[in-house]
Structure 1
Amino acid sequence: MRISNPVLRGFNADPSMIRVGDTYYIANSTFEWWPGVRLHESQDLVHWRPLPAPLNRVSQLDMRGVPSSGGVWAPDLSYADGRFWLVYGDVKVVNGAFKDCTNYLVTADDIHGPWSEPIRVNGVGFDASLFHDDDGRKYLIQQTWDFREYHHPFDGITLTEFDTQGMRLMPETARTIWRGTDVKTVEGPHLYKLNGYYYLFAAEGGTMFEHQESVARSRTLDALSFEVMPGNPLLGNYDTPDSYLQKQGHGALVDTPSGEWYYASLCARPWRHDTEPSRGVRGWCPLGRETSIQKIEWDDALWPRVVGGRGGSRYVQAPRDAIETIVPADASQHDEFDDHELGRDWNTLRVPFGDAMGTVGEGSLELRGQGSLGNLFDLSLVARRWQTYTFDATVELSFKPDCYMQMAGLTNYYNDLCWSWIFVTWDERRSKRVIEVAQNDFNAYTSFLRDRAIEIPDEVGSVWFRTSIRKRSYAYAYSFDGTSWKDIPLVFDAKKLSDDYVSQRYGGFFTGAFVGLAAVDLAGFGKTASFRHFDYREIPDPA
């Protein structure tokens, strides 16, 4: 077997990887998407099976109103003393001098849960992780955020001892152990004790194309005692613009039962338009930041090195002691909405799916119209990640609006600023239900069909919507019988649903594109839309 990167496709950023016995686990950031923290397991590092989310109730995570790309940043999963430990931050401010991050700790005896109620740890900085030393002591290690305009905001890596009796930090023990290199923006720290050294792995350079993973080590945990690795960084693609994988860095180290070493990190797979120069534009990544795994070897001076070079490889040899993990061949999904709970592929924004949003079961997803797709508080949107650059998604919709403020349909969505959709609404001039297509581009909202909005015949009870994503562009189509389709003559640029596009004007650009189902009722009457027969079907990418 061999690892084919990325191993977790589509918006699976900031991996924290551990091994317990013969099983590996990865925890990933979820930001404003619910439920909080994405978990996968594997016994071969090649195939990964999703697990129940650990943060699944509001008492653990209250994100109502958080800005896009706020919420859960860089969770840290660890295992010690016979239980799983999960540290996660909840970021309430994205843009500006402040982040207002609070870090929490939950634990569980079983990775499947239940997970405990959270313990508030601190708010010193984000990307916190818990280090379990071999003498039984524990430490929180984290990026430190400095809001003062005359300091660099990424103010080194802080280490603070954690009191396991009182289950609290000991702030009097806090100290800066490393300030990073001249690359700056040091974050995402993980600490390991190996070969008589404490090894510090940390991301630097920001999370875009200059991203990298740096390594330092020390014999002690004293303040500023860490020295940087010769030939640093360990991993990065800032100088490999033609590599299939880009943006690698920010991750975690793991060993296999037979003593091999691997490193999981975030990555991205950009594309460019044919008109864009290969060196002037690094590309666009609508799938967001994904997870890759590289093999690690140790040199004679006991420093880690990526096998094949620091640019990483698309294909990596699997562990020799791998136990094959059985998972579906691709990410295709068909949902008849028969169950009374949403499947694990589905996500909502900021709050869990509940009565205010709608119901599911008996063959339909009933969404009760709430706020617009730009709403940070009350929104009826159920969505799943884009996991491949070429796919079709279809759904049947029954909806009978009474006014133009009532809308329901199929959306391609990045965040509250950037999205598009095809939807059913009411045209008061014609006293007819119509199909419209609209886009929100940094809050410049455009209705494309306007006077050409497609009338829905009175005798038609349901309409079918389809979106076809073809890497650099995507489009919409509709049908009145689910068989005969008519394309909408509009082509959308997929780059507008990418981290790279959003980062040009907004500080929160950490997620990825989703395809979803939404209902809006700005009139406030909660008009309900019924969705049936959702299908997400991967299509081979000819490129």
Structure 2
Amino acid sequence: MPLVRNPILPGFNPDPSVLRVGDDYYIATSTFEWYPGVQIHHSRDLANWTLLTRPLNREAQLDMRGDPDSCGVWAPCLTHDGKKFWLVYTDVKRKDGSYKDTHNYVVHAESITGPWSDPIYTNSSGFDPSLFHDPDTGRKYFTNMLWDHRRRPHTFAGIAVQEFDPEAGKLVGPRRNVYAGTDLGLVEGPHLYKRKGWYYLLTAEGGTGYDHAVTIARSRDIWGPYETDPSKHVLTAKDHPLAALQRAGHGDIVDTPDGRTYLVHLCGRPITQQRRCVLGRETAIQEAFWGPDDWLYVKDGPVPSLYVDVPGTRDDAPYWEPKHYTFSPTAETKSNAGLPLDFQWLRTPEPERIFSTAENKLTLIGRESIGSWFEQSLVARRQTHFSYDAETIISLFSPEDERQFAGLTAYYCRFNFFYLTVTAHADGQRELLIQSSEASWPLGSLRPSTLLEPVIIPNEGKVKLALSIRGKTLQFFYALPDSSDAADKELKKIGPVFDASIVSDECGGHQAHGSFTGAFVGLAASDLNGTAARATFDYFEYRPVRDESDRYDV
């Protein structure tokens, strides 16, 4: 049987929670500050996955205005109790320093595509919540890691279990700390299962960097004590720096109808000597099995395999197809505020304030700067290939001065992005500028946020903007399609070749284990005058490129 190559969900798709209902498989992944919240992919064979829905799509469920970078929606858990779907998630309001403000919620729906309920608040004692439906008793139990700000640097205090009463809509009874983890530390990401009279607790340990691991423990009583697997880690690449899949951890288990067991987990694929994961944390799958000792093992593990035997065979053709996106409020995009489903925006539950597709084009309404944590006009899709081309045309934008700008961006967060903009000089003359976060430059290097002298362009007419990423290099281009000069209709290079690997977890401006998303490419507009200047884009193209020099894209 042909093997499927990992990852099964390339690009920013971390913290997978997997579920089978009948013949349908679902994976829910974290979206952090990107709106709508939680991505749910669907498959019938564990090989071919399609983005299906993002359930947290209205203000009553999620409002992330003010959430810092890499906060927002962490580690969703998707389950089914035989009658309805349940989704639990954290909305993180602060993560850096001693304190964590982590609010946990539960929503439910009869159909995976919704409508999903308003949220039930549960607690704020830690993050990575999950919901377990005991098949024998019918009772529900809520788990999350506990945060103890007093114990620095060992602030991960263990895994808590508490009963959840769905009728009362709250946690009930005592909360008990049932598992402290192993000496690897940083125990989080709990999932409970029941098999042959054992309660199994699957956890993540070692942080989200290169020491990440999946650990399992078990007990005859849901309240413990839990015994750690003698092998300690079910899955990890921490002792194998040359393994293709690194940062392997945060897993979840699913069984096929014929009794095979699989473990889904996050991973990273580093490039450059700095081992930067430009695609962020991705979702991979491993075949697993229960041994005669009733412990879980990964086939050929604990190091994650690049190729895995799953029930289906994958058609890779869609992965390499170029995408030409147009914008219109059709039925297909209605659930995503008029955007193609591949696109998201940042933080706000009021998309009508930052963009419109009413005229079959994308009009961005200039708000705060590209680095704002509150209201910025930026729509983008994930970078899912190590090499690609992207382009757009700005058909209408008349900036008055240097505080109004719009264009094409390769974006990770406010700490690291590259941004080719149409803007204007103080006298109103339009020009092109490349902007970047100052933190995108190497430590100790003081660079301005504007990266080249402006290129003067006509005050009227369309402007084509493009970029090409080839592994670790990024080059911007532009053209003037309305010009009568044939040379101006062809793409011209603008600016130097940049280090594309800066747009990565490892350069996210945080301490170790502190940046959690992935690279995006998209369109943005700002009006720092506060007059909501509008920029209209005709289309957006994303074209994957096979780069034979790249060990992942061959």
Task: Indicate the TM-score class for this superposition, using the shorter chain for normalisation.
Answer: over 0.9
Q: State the Cα distance separating 1:361 from its structure 2 match.
A: 3.8
Q: Per the alignment, do residues 91 and 448 of structure 1 end up closer, same or farther by CA in structure 2, a change over 3 Å counting?
A: same
Q: Aligned pair 1:446/2:449, yes or no?
A: yes
Q: State the Cα distance separating 1:351 from its structure 2 match.
A: 1.1
Q: State the Cα distance separating 1:506 from its structure 2 match.
A: 7.3
Could you list the per-position Cα deviations for residues 132-175 of structure 1 after superposition, in whole angstroms to 9, with x for gaps in the alignment? 112101100111111114572100100001123212101x3211
SS in 1 for 2:351: coil
SS in 1 for 2:546: coil
Gaps of at least 5 residues in structure 1 are none
Moved more, 344-353 or 385-394: 344-353
Q: State the Cα distance separating 1:487 from its structure 2 match.
A: 0.7
SS in 2 for 1:442: helix
Match of 1:304 in 2: 296
- Distance (whole Å) between structure 1 residues aligned to residue 119 and residue 463 of structure 2: 44
Match of 2:94 in 1: 93
Q: 8 Å contact 2:434–2:495 — kept in the other structure? A: no
Q: Aligned pair 1:501/2:499, yes or no?
A: no
SS in 2 for 1:311: coil
Match for residue 409 of structure 2 among 411, 425, 436: 411
Moved more, 505-514 or 487-496: 505-514
Q: Per the alignment, do residues 508 and 116 of structure 1 end up closer, same or farther by CA in structure 2, a change over 3 Å counting?
A: same
Q: Aligned pair 1:369/2:366, yes or no?
A: yes
Q: 8 Å contact 1:48–1:327 — kept in the other structure? A: no
Could you list the per-position Cα deviations for residues 436-468 of structure 1 after superposition, in whole angstroms to 9, with x for gaps in the alignment? 111113286421223xx111134x500000011
Q: Per the alignment, do residues 311 and 405 of structure 1 end up closer, same or farther by CA in structure 2, a change over 3 Å counting?
A: same
Match of 2:223 in 1: 222
Q: Aligned pair 1:477/2:480, yes or no?
A: no
Q: State the Cα distance separating 1:326 from its structure 2 match.
A: 10
Q: Aligned pair 1:328/2:318, yes or no?
A: yes
Q: Per the alignment, do residues 331 and 53 of structure 1 end up closer, same or farther by CA in structure 2, a change over 3 Å counting?
A: farther
Q: State the Cα distance separating 1:315 from its structure 2 match.
A: 0.9
Match for residue 527 of structure 1 among 520, 533, 538: 533
SS in 1 for 2:150: coil
Q: Per the alignment, do residues 414 and 448 of structure 1 end up closer, same or farther by CA in structure 2, a change over 3 Å counting?
A: same
Match of 2:49 in 1: 48
Q: 8 Å contact 1:43–1:325 — kept in the other structure? A: no
Q: Per the alignment, do residues 261 and 386 of structure 1 end up closer, same or farther by CA in structure 2, a change over 3 Å counting?
A: same
SS in 1 for 2:507: helix
Match of 2:485 in 1: none
- Distance (whole Å) between structure 2 residues aligned to residue 327 and residue 391 of structure 1: 15
Correspondences of 1:78-227 after superposition (within 5 Å)? 78-134=79-135, 135-149=137-151, 152-170=154-172, 172-223=173-224, 225-227=225-227
- Distance (whole Å) between structure 2 residues aligned to residue 309 and residue 53 of structure 1: 33
Q: Read off the aligned partner of 1:344 and give its amino acid letter.
A: L
Gaps of at least 5 residues in structure 2 are 331-337, 441-446, 482-487
Match of 1:246 in 2: 246
Q: State the Cα distance separating 1:358 from its structure 2 match.
A: 2.4
SS in 2 for 1:490: strand
- Distance (whole Å) between structure 2 residues aligned to residue 434 and residue 259 of structure 1: 62
Q: 8 Å contact 1:392–1:537 — kept in the other structure? A: yes
Match for residue 425 of structure 1 among 420, 423, 426: 423
Match of 1:387 in 2: 384
Q: Read off the aligned partner of 1:495 and give its amino acid letter.
A: S
Q: State the Cα distance separating 1:502 from its structure 2 match.
A: 2.1
Paired-residue identity, %: 43
Q: State the Cα distance separating 1:297 from its structure 2 match.
A: 1.4
Q: 8 Å contact 2:144–2:160 — kept in the other structure? A: yes
- How many corresponding residue pairs? 527
Q: Per the alignment, do residues 75 and 331 of structure 1 end up closer, same or farther by CA in structure 2, a change over 3 Å counting?
A: farther
Match of 1:71 in 2: 72
Q: State the Cα distance separating 1:91 from its structure 2 match.
A: 0.6
Q: Per the alignment, do residues 366 and 113 of structure 1 end up closer, same or farther by CA in structure 2, a change over 3 Å counting?
A: same
SS in 2 for 1:355: helix
SS in 1 for 2:506: helix
Q: Per the alignment, do residues 139 and 423 of structure 1 end up closer, same or farther by CA in structure 2, a change over 3 Å counting?
A: same
Q: Read off the aligned partner of 1:449 and give its amino acid letter.
A: L
Q: Read off the aligned partner of 2:364 and give its amino acid letter.
A: L
Match of 1:396 in 2: 393
- Distance (whole Å) between structure 2 residues aligned to residue 474 and residue 352 of structure 1: 32
- Distance (whole Å) between structure 2 residues aligned to residue 538 and residue 108 of structure 1: 36
Structure 1 residue runs of 4+, over 6 Å off?
Answer: 323-327
Q: State the Cα distance separating 1:525 from its structure 2 match.
A: 1.2
- Distance (whole Å) between structure 2 residues aligned to residue 210 and residue 526 of structure 1: 46
Q: State the Cα distance separating 1:531 from its structure 2 match.
A: 0.5
- Distance (whole Å) between structure 2 residues aligned to residue 124 and residue 163 of structure 1: 18
- Distance (whole Å) between structure 2 residues aligned to residue 112 and residue 504 of structure 1: 35
Q: State the Cα distance separating 1:475 from its structure 2 match.
A: 1.4
Q: 8 Å contact 2:393–2:538 — kept in the other structure? A: yes
- Distance (whole Å) between structure 2 residues aligned to residue 324 and residue 314 of structure 1: 14
Q: Read off the aligned partner of 2:162 and give its amino acid letter.
A: T
Q: Aligned pair 1:492/2:477, yes or no?
A: no
Q: 8 Å contact 1:435–1:456 — kept in the other structure? A: yes
Q: State the Cα distance separating 1:374 from its structure 2 match.
A: 1.3
Q: 8 Å contact 1:251–1:265 — kept in the other structure? A: yes
- Distance (whole Å) between structure 2 residues aligned to residue 108 and residue 325 of structure 1: 31
Match of 1:511 in 2: 517
Q: State the Cα distance separating 1:507 from its structure 2 match.
A: 6.4
Match of 2:235 in 1: 235
Could you list the per-position Cα deviations for residues 290-329 of structure 1 after superposition, in whole angstroms to 9, with x for gaps in the alignment? 000000012221111111121111110112xx49899934
- Distance (whole Å) between structure 2 residues aligned to residue 503 and residue 209 of structure 1: 18
Q: 8 Å contact 2:429–2:456 — kept in the other structure? A: yes
Q: State the Cα distance separating 1:533 from its structure 2 match.
A: 2.0
Q: In angstroms, what is the RMSD of aligned CA positions? A: 1.8
Q: Read off the aligned partner of 1:303 and give its amino acid letter.
A: W
Q: 8 Å contact 1:9–1:291 — kept in the other structure? A: yes
